[in-house]
Amino acid sequence: MSEVEALQVVIDQIDKMREDILATLSQLVRIPSITPKYPGINREEVIGGETECNKALRHTYEAAGCHIDMWEEEPLRANLIGVLKGTGGGRSLIFNGHIDTVPPGESSAWKWGDPFSGRIEDGKLYGLGSCDMKAGVVAQAKAAEALSKAGIKLKGDLILESVVGEETMDHNAGTTATIKRGYLADAAVVSEPSGPPCSLAVVPCSPGLFWLKITVKGKPTHVCVRGNFIWPGGEGDRIGVNAIEKAFFIADSLKKLEHNWGMSKLHPLFAPGHFTIGPNVILGTPPGPMVPFIVPHLCYIDYIVMYKPEESPEDVKAEVEAFLESVFDQDPWLRVNRPVVEWPHHWPSYDTPIEHPICKVAAEAHADVVGRPAVFHGFAAVDDATYLQMGGIPTITYGPGSLLVAHSANEHVDVEEVITACKVYAAIALKWCGID
Ligand SMILES: [Zn+2]
């Protein structure tokens, strides 16, 4: 069988499996798998969900003819791997996705009052994790099952991975654990939703991401003497300093740096202005209870800083810190009472050259199935491709859905996109691993 014939056979097979693919996705969405280390989540209430989901997915891996490896790197959080052994002589490929989700928020905000409905309406399948990213995980697994059912034998090994803990960067329990366990390959495709900017973009790189925390000190005093410490002629910072206002000064200044980045940090695969410095938590408080009767003595601002894939994280940190130092120097209080600057988390970028064969194969597979050239674009967020790349595996992201509807009420995925993605995954496997 030629590659062209094989592709047609597997596409026909996937069309026959259409109802089964969507039913499997609905079933997985109905099994909650909230990531247990999410801040504010009670681990005891949600632990085991990831494992239950992977137990359900295991049937598809088995139907694909995979050798199964299911294990807990962390208690009660089972990763699932299925190896479809090749006949030999071909390149090996990993299909990777995560099974955990963020929490659903208020149930009442969801259609049918149910974050776990898994229902289809107007061509969209709804529910927490439908888009991010059970659709991708199911599409990859069903592609392998379709290949087997169509009687197509790959030369290279195809390794299916459904891991835990991605949503809290818990890669040591999930993707990094798969690498330590010995699952390596010549390339990998992560099935995170690869829109925006368009459905099913080929994504060879992501930004890097820092969590930046700035703690600003003030000086508490009675709120009614404010005039005395903010206007000329008064006591000034000898009696009071409002930590929230000092934080605003810093936030305003960082906006200017963000503006400079928007104008200067350009990348051919990202829209201008994608690399940003965004304040996402600001908490100012007086000593004692949160009531406005004492001038606030503390203010925290938490930022997400996103930088270009090829930039050195150390350089980015140094640039932001040097800028902040210059901001602190401009203010008499901050000059002496230096705010504390911390970097609680870092998620490095991944960056696979666009000329790499896995990019070429994915683009060809997309064009063959969809009938239009693939769009290459940078990933809007970050994903486990980073940790696969750190394990030495050239990795891209390609998957159904859009990040614009992930992590929010009424998350959904277009069912046609799920079926198309499944066909493209099968085509990628054919082209990359080769057929016997
Ligand atoms: Zn995700």
Domains defined for the chain, CATH in brackets: 3-206+350-433 (3.40.630.10), 208-347 (3.30.70.360)
Average pLDDT, the chain: 97
Q: Which residue has the tokens 């490929």?
A: 93
382 Cα–ligand 1 center, Å: 8
Phi, psi of 35 (to 5 degrees): -65, 125
pTM of the model: 0.94
Which three-class secondary structure state does DSSP give residue 300?
A: strand
Residues 139-198: tens digit of each pLDDT:
999 999 999 999 999 999 999 999 999 999 999 999 999 999 999 999 999 999 999 989
Tell me, in angstroms, the distance from the centre of ligand 1 to residue 166's CA: 7
pLDDT over 90 (residue 315) = yes
pLDDT at 38: 96
Known catalytic residues?
Answer: 100, 166
Other Cβ atoms within 10 Å of 169 Cβ, number: 19
The rounded Å distance from CA 136 to ligand 1 centre is 10
User: How would residue 1 be classed by pLDDT, with cut points 50, 70 and 90?
Assistant: confident
Distance 345 CA to ligand 1 centre (A): 17
Q: How far is CA 283 from CA 217, 293, 302, in A?
A: 12, 16, 9
pLDDT tens by residue, 337-374: 999 999 999 999 999 999 999 999 999 999 999 999 99
Q: Phi-psi region for residue 76, left (φ > 0), alpha (ψ -120 to 50) or beta?
A: left
Query: Average pLDDT for residues 375-381, to the nearest whole number?
Result: 96
Predicted local confidence at residue 332, as pLDDT: 96
Alpha helical stretches, state H, 85-170:
135-149
Q: Are 79 and 383 in contact (CB under 8 A)?
A: no
C-alpha dist (Å) from residue 398 to 91, 131, 205, 368, 422: 19, 13, 11, 15, 11
- Centre of ligand 1 to C-alpha 167, Å, is 6
CA of 391 to the centre of ligand 1 (A): 19
Give mean pLDDT, residues 385-414: 97
* Percent of the chain surpassing pLDDT 70: 100
102 CA distance to ligand 1 centroid (A)? 9
What pLDDT, in 10s, does the model give residues 101-119?
999 999 999 999 999 999 9
Mean pLDDT (whole number) for 199-218: 98
